Amino acid sequence: MQDKFEKRKQKIKQWFKDPYNLTFFSIFVFSIIIRLYYFWLTKNQPLWWDEADYLAYAKNLAGFNVDWIVTSQHNSLLPYLAAFMFKIGFSLASVKFFLVLVPSFFLVYLSYKIGDVLYDKKIALILAFLMSVFWNILFNSMRFHLGVPALLLAFLAIYVFFKGYEKKERFFFKLNPNYALPIAIIFVVLSYSIRRSHLIFGLFFLTYLILTKPLKILIKDKYSWIGLVFALFLLFFVEKFIFIAHLTDVSKSYLHLEQPINFSHLKYFLLFFQNIFRPYFSVLSFLFLIGLISLIFHVALFFDYFKKQRDIKEKANLFMLLSILITLSYFVFYQRGIGIGEPRWYFPILLPSLVCVAFGFVYTYALLKTYHKKLALFVVVFLLAFSGYYQLRHADYIIKYKIPSFNGIKQASLYLKENSDLNDIILDIPVPQTAFYSERKVKNIVEFLGKKTYKETSLSDLIKELSKKENKNVKYIIVTFSEPNHPEWMKKISYIQNKITGKKGTILEIPFMNTTINTLTGQQHIKQEKTYGNITFKLLVIKDDAFVYEILRNFT
C-alpha cells in the first residue's frame, strides 16, 4: 500500500515537472476560480424568461404546484435533470452549479485535451486559455442556458472520435478504440437532446467521414452499425419521451425563406471576440482572420488526398473548416433572419474559431522567432494576456450589469408565494418566471382573455372575465415595467427630456389604476384601489418595478 502511494506521488511530481502540464494546471485552476467568483455573485440572480421556461417546467415535472409546459423551441433533456434534482431537495443555485457551472469547468479541460489530440500542446494551451476567459461562455455559465452543457457533450464527441477512431488510441480509462465511433455518436445524440440545434454536429461528422473514408470501409465497419443502432434508439427515446414537438415543426419556426440571404452571419466572429472599448475590432478578431486563411489554405492544399491522408493535423483542419462552412451555410441560407444573431447561436463553431485564433498566435510566434526567440515569446504571451483581459472585462461588465434584471417580478412572485393560497391564480404577462417563484398557477392575460395578441385585449374584457364564477380563483394581477408586451390599458412607458438641462427620464403609467410615476421630476401618483362595477383592484405591494394587485369581488 505504501509503495503504491509513493509511486503515485512520484508520478504526480513527474507530471508537474513538464512545463506544459504545469501551465495547463495553472490555466485550469484560474478558470475554476473566476467561474466560482461570478457564480457566487450570480447564484441568486433573478431568472430570465427562457431560464424560467426550462425551470418552471422542471418544477412541474417534479410535482410542484406549477402547471407550466415548456415551449417547443426550448424543450430539452435538461429540465428533466433539473426536475430530478428539485425532487430530491436541491436548491436552484445547486441545480445551476451542477448542470451548468461544472460543465463549464470541463469545457476548459476538454479544450486542452482536444487541442493536444488534434494538434500539439502549444495549440492546446492556447485553446484552454481562450476557453477559460471567453466572455460568452462565462456569461452563459452563470445562467440556466442550454449552450454550455450541450457544448460539453459535443466536445466529448469530438475528443472521442479523434482520439479513438482516428488515432486508434485508448481513451476514457483505457477503453478500446473500436468503441470510439459508437460512443461519439451517442454523445452527439445526447448533445442534441439538450439543444436541438446541435444535430448539426452529426452533419459535421457525417460530411467528414464521407470525405475521408472510402464508403466500403464505413459499410463494413460493424462498430459503425453499432453506433447507428444506439443513435436510433436514443433518438427514438428523446423524440418520444422528452420532446413535445417534432423536429420538423420546430425547424420550420426558424426557416425564413421570405427574407433575403443574410451574409451578416459571416461576421459572427466579431461577436465572439469583441471587447467593450472596440466592439468591431480586437486582437483576437485579427488573429482569427489570419488563422482562418491558413486553415482554408491547408485544406485546399490537401483536399484531393484526405482519403489517403494520415496526418491527423490536416484531417483536423478539414473537420474545423467543414464545421464553419456547414454552420454558416445554415444561418446564411436557411435561417437567414434580419441582422446577426446572439453569440450562443454560433457555439457549434466556437471550437474551430478558437483553433483559428490559436493558429494566429502560432504564426505570430513563428514570424517573430526568426528575429528574436525571447521577444517572440514575450509578444505572444502579452497578446494572450491583453486579449484575455478584455474578454474578462467584457464578461465582468455584462454579468454584473445583468444581475438585477427582472428582480421585481422575482420579488413580487415570492411575495405571492408567501401570501396566497395554493388554489389561487395569478394574472401576469411573464408567466414562467412568476410560476417558478410563486409556485402558483399563472395565466397570461392575453390567453386568459382568449385573444391572440395583447393589442386585442381591453379592460372591459378583463372585468367581464373576472366577473364569471368559474374565474373566482383568479385573485391577483401583476404589472411589471421590465417586461414587454403589456396592453396599453395595463402599462405605458413614455420617454421625456428636460428642455433646459437635457436630462432624460420616463413617465410610467398603469392606466387602469390611474397610477403615474415621473422619473424625471420624482412626482408619483399611486392609487391604492380602483373599482369597476363589482371588481376592485387593490394594491398590495410594490417590488422594484412590479406592482402586485389583489382582485376583490363584490357580488350581491
Helix axes 19-42, 102-118, angle to 10 degrees: 150
- What was the pLDDT predicted at 498? 80
Flag whether pLDDT at 352 surpasses 70: yes
- What was the pLDDT predicted at 164? 94
pLDDT band at 193 (very low <50, low <70, confident <90, very high): very high
Say if pTM beats, i.e. exceeds, 0.85: yes
Flag whether pLDDT at 306 surpasses 70: no
- What was the pLDDT predicted at 279? 54
Question: Comparing 175 with 309, which gets the higher pLDDT?
Answer: 175
Of 36, 49, 144, the C-alpha closest to 91 is 144
Flag whether pLDDT at 127 surpasses 90: yes
Please, are residues 389 and 270 in contact by the beta-carbon 8 Å criterion? no
N-term to C-term CA, the chain: 85
The most confident of the ranges 47-61, 233-247, 335-349, 452-466 is: 47-61
pLDDT band at 300 (very low <50, low <70, confident <90, very high): confident
Please, are residues 514 and 524 in contact by the beta-carbon 8 Å criterion? no
Of 49, 43, 42, 39, the C-alpha closest to 409 is 49
Q: Hey, is 326 helix, strand or coil?
A: helix
Strands of the 441-444 sheet, one edge to the other = 441-444, 425-428, 474-480, 546-553, 535-543, 529-532
Of 344, 350, 339, 360, the C-alpha closest to 267 is 339
Calculate ∠ Cα 544-547-548, nearest 5°.
Answer: 125
Question: Comparing 216 with 277, which gets the higher pLDDT?
Answer: 216
Distance CA 47, CA 411 (A): 11
Flag whether pLDDT at 531 surpasses 80: yes
Flag whether pLDDT at 2 surpasses 70: no
Flag whether pLDDT at 521 surpasses 90: no
Q: What is the mean pLDDT of residues 240-266?
A: 78
Percent of the chain with pLDDT over 90: 66
Please, are residues 518 and 527 in contact by the beta-carbon 8 Å criterion? no
Distance CA 96, CA 39 (A): 9
- According to DSSP, the β-strands at 474-480 and 441-444 are unpaired
Please, are residues 449 and 457 in contact by the beta-carbon 8 Å criterion? yes
Distance CA 181, CA 364 (A): 36
Adjacent-strand bridge partners of 530: 537
pLDDT band at 554 (very low <50, low <70, confident <90, very high): confident
Long-range contacts of 215-224 (CB under 8 A, 24+ apart): 221/181, 223/178, 223/179, 223/181, 223/182, 224/181, 224/182
The most confident of the ranges 78-87, 305-314, 384-393 is: 78-87
Q: What is the mean pLDDT of residues 163-177?
A: 90
Flag whether pLDDT at 1 surpasses 60: no
Q: What are phi and psi of 144, to 5 degrees?
A: -85, 75
Displacement of CA 447 from its chain's centroid (Å): 28
C-alpha cell of residue 396: 465582468
Question: Comparing 163 with 301, which gets the higher pLDDT?
Answer: 163
Distance CA 354, CA 127 (A): 6
Strands (E) across 315-392 are located at: none
Please, are residues 234 and 243 in contact by the beta-carbon 8 Å criterion? no
- What was the pLDDT predicted at 275? 65
